[in-house]
């Protein structure tokens, strides 16, 4: 399989009160297309920062990030946004649904940005897959946390992403709801043949992926294939 993501000597340094704060230090790894990978580590280890760099949400201080053959450090903000819209899906801990749009409209947004056709039908099909067809006209405030995360799952897959980044996708959910959302995430991922990268401190969730990369203090301390895969 080809690599969909190549990270080479990536560092992220912030200026803080005149001093340099190194959040990530010379990170190296590649991810094969179609694989499932967890990035774990304690709070403040650089996991979410790394996710942002991989997805082109932020720019590395040094090193190269290559997503689907495209070197992100060579692109400006608009060009990176275009790459994200074409190849990347996101799921966040706090759902990040647009409050003034219904569940259906939230799922349709990435499709509209891509100029896709027949988007209402496709969006309804996705809501059906996540078991929310009957809640399509409800606004986020009218939905439970688990329902909101299922809407964000449908939205994440709506542009058929080549790679999906999930940042603590079950962080705000109870155990029973988490289990349902995780099952849906892996089922949809399998259906669409998407590459899945999950940032999580939940070791049970990490064990469901085929590989776990552990970060501590901004460096990779282990990179292992899962025994559960």
- The whole-angstrom separation of Cα 56 and Cα 59 is 7
Backbone angles phi, psi at 20, to 5 degrees: -85, 130
pLDDT at 228: 52
pLDDT in tens, 172-224: 888 888 888 899 999 999 999 999 999 998 888 999 999 999 999 999 999 99
3-state SS record for 60-122:
CCEEEEEECCEEHHHCCHHHHHHHHHHHEEEEECCCCCCCCCCHHHHHHHHHHHHCCCCHHHH
Beta bridge partners of 5: 31, 67
- pTM over 0.85? The answer is yes
Q: Which CATH class for the 3-225 domain?
A: alpha beta
Instruction: Please indicate whether residue 31 or residue 1 has the higher confidence score (pLDDT).
Output: 31
- The whole-angstrom separation of Cα 74 and Cα 68 is 14
For all residues of the chain together, what is the average pLDDT? 91
* Residue spans per domain, the chain: 3-225
pLDDT at 43: 85
pLDDT in tens, 88-115: 999 988 888 999 999 999 999 988 888 8
Q: How far from 64 is each of 20, 27, 67, CA to CA, in Å?
A: 20, 10, 10
pLDDT at 229: 43
Name which of 47, 48, 60, 53 is nearest 5 in CA terms.
Answer: 53
pLDDT at 171: 84
């Amino acid at each position: 399989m080809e690599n969909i993501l190549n990270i080479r000597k990536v560092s992220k340094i912030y200026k803080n009160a005149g001093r340099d704060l190194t959040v990530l230090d010379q990170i190296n790894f590649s991810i094969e297309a179609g694989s499932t990978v967890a990035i774990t580590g304690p709070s403040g280890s650089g996991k979410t920062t790394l996710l942002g760099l991989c997805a082109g949400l932020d720019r590395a201080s040094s090193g190269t990030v290559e997503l689907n053959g495209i070197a992100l450090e060579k692109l400006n903000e608009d060009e990176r946004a275009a790459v994200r819209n074409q190849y990347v899906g996101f799921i966040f801990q706090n759902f990040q649904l647009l409050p003034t749009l219904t569940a259906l409209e939230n799922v349709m947004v990435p499709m509209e940005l891509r100029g896709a056709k027949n988007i209402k039908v496709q969006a309804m099909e996705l809501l059906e897959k996540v078991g929310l067809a009957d809640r399509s006209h409800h606004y986020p405030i009218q939905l439970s946390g688990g329902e909101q995360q299922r809407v964000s799952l449908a939205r994440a897959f709506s542009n058929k992403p080549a790679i999906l980044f999930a940042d603590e996708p079950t962080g705000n959910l109870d155990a029973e709801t988490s289990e349902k959302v995780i099952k849906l995430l892996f089922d949809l991922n399998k259906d669409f043949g998407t590459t899945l990268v999950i940032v999580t401190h939940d070791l049970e969730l990490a064990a469901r992926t085929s590989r776990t990369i552990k970060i501590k203090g901004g460096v990779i301390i282990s990179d292992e294939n899962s025994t559960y895969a």
